[in-house]
Amino acid sequence: MTPSPAGPGGRRHLRTRCVHRPARPDAARPGLSLPIDRSSTFLQDDAARELTDAGRWDEALVYARYGSPTVEAVQDHLADLEGAQRAVLFGSGMAAIHAALLGLRQPGRPVAVARELYGGTADLLTALGEFGIEAVPFSVYDLTSLSSALEQGAGLVWLETVSNPTLRVADLPAVVERARAAAARVVVDSTFTSPALCRPLAHGVDAVVHSATKLLGGHSDLLAGAVLGEAHLLDPVWTWRKRAGGSLDPQAAWLLERGLATLALRAEAAGRGAVAVAEALANDPRVAWVSHPSLPSHPDHALAADLLEGPVPLVAFALREGDAGLRPFADRLRVALDAPSLGGVETLVSLPAFMSHAALSPAERVAVGIGPGTVRVAVGIEDPRDLVEDLLQALG
């Protein structure tokens, strides 16, 4: 891992900064574990009044929907890891996406939205269309379609670092260059990579969004989301959190903090596992195709080597048997579990045809790269030998 270019601990390596929060224990707070402050409201002393009188509601401790000490400590830690000036945490990834879309769009201009998108985000954008927020689709892998969305006046470009479930990698510098020329902002949902693999802000992106439920939390035991970027840019995002109330509970923030300590370690272990799984599946005649950026056959193999600091912890592949083989395959698994989500310590297998992309017809699925028999494996930190053995025996 290379040192982060920004943040208070910027000279130290990511793995060290995962373990050590920017605010170190001291005589006033000697405990090594982050204290959980469950207060929903806070005493308004002179210092707090001075801030609220000056309109600085986001800096004062007022009421826990606005902000609270445990959540703020985790925000500072996450901002340090991402190389951001500021992080705003939310009660789920979708709450973060909602606030980022409403807070960062440029009023009166449409939003250019990648076609290769998490279904929940696509659904939210469809719903927001009823409130006059226009979305113009483009493909991350055909940047002329982005140029045409920008020509239609798009003021915000929304995409993901790595697409679900086909694991194509977005050329962030090329997207940023086109958006800049059109005075549009770029927001990247970096859930699939986390700051352990990619820090989009360093590539000129304006804001980063995470479902912290996934790699950041890492243990499949919390829901959280985050938006990160320059402090002033995040003011309206914070305001939407206060308005709509998607604030994070301090207990979940503490669990997230515990997960962050091992983020880099888990990302390394899961990435190694994903490479082993991809290579084993690629050599098996029962498998029609395998998609993982570490494979030389992957269309973004070179781009991934430039942009990502390690292997993506997900693998997509297709059973030669097609969709009829999917559920029997999942039923034969003895280590991996058939459950939606990703980024946890345990390997999860999901079947897009029955889960994330069930609403699409088979032809529509093929159009977004989900051919018959497609399986997504979200690799955990188990021993790769056990995972490979399990997946190969489940092929039947």
- Could you list the active site residues? 65, 118, 189, 214
Show contacts with ligand PLP in window 222-281 (CB under 6 A). 223, 225
Stretch that binds ligand PLP, among 89-97, 232-240, 275-283, 328-336 (CB under 6 A): 89-97
Q: Which is nearer to ligand PLP, 120 or 204 (CB)?
A: 120
Cα dist from 304 to 146, 209, 301, 374, whole Å: 20, 20, 5, 22
Residue 291 interacting with ligand PLP (CB under 6 A): no
Site string for ligand PLP, 157-176 (x = CB under 6 A): ---x---x------------
Stretch that binds ligand PLP, among 86-94, 230-238, 262-270, 366-374 (CB under 6 A): 86-94
Judged on CB neighbours under 10 Å (0-12, 13-18, 19+), 47 is exposed
Show contacts with ligand PLP in window 95-124 (CB under 6 A). 118, 120
Q: Which of 75, 166, 193, 211 binds ligand PLP (CB under 6 A)?
A: 211
Cα dist from 351 to 223, 300, 321, whole Å: 22, 23, 14
Which residue is at the shortest CB distance from ligand PLP? Answer: 93
Q: Which is nearer to ligand PLP, 14 or 99 (CB)?
A: 99
Cα dist from 381 to 280, 302, 315, whole Å: 17, 25, 14
Which residues does 247 contact at the CB level (< 8 Å), separation at least 6?
Answer: 64, 65, 66, 67, 68, 71, 89, 90, 91, 241
Q: Is 374 helix (H, G, I), strand (E, B) or coil?
A: strand
Query: What does the alpha-carbon distance between residue 25 and residue 16 come to, in Å, rounded to a whole number?
Result: 16
Site string for ligand PLP, 307-346 (x = CB under 6 A): ----------------------------------------
Query: What does the alpha-carbon distance between residue 281 and residue 287 come to, in Å, rounded to a whole number?
Result: 7
Residues that bind ligand PLP (CB under 6 A): 92-94, 118, 120, 160, 164, 189, 191, 211, 213, 223, 225
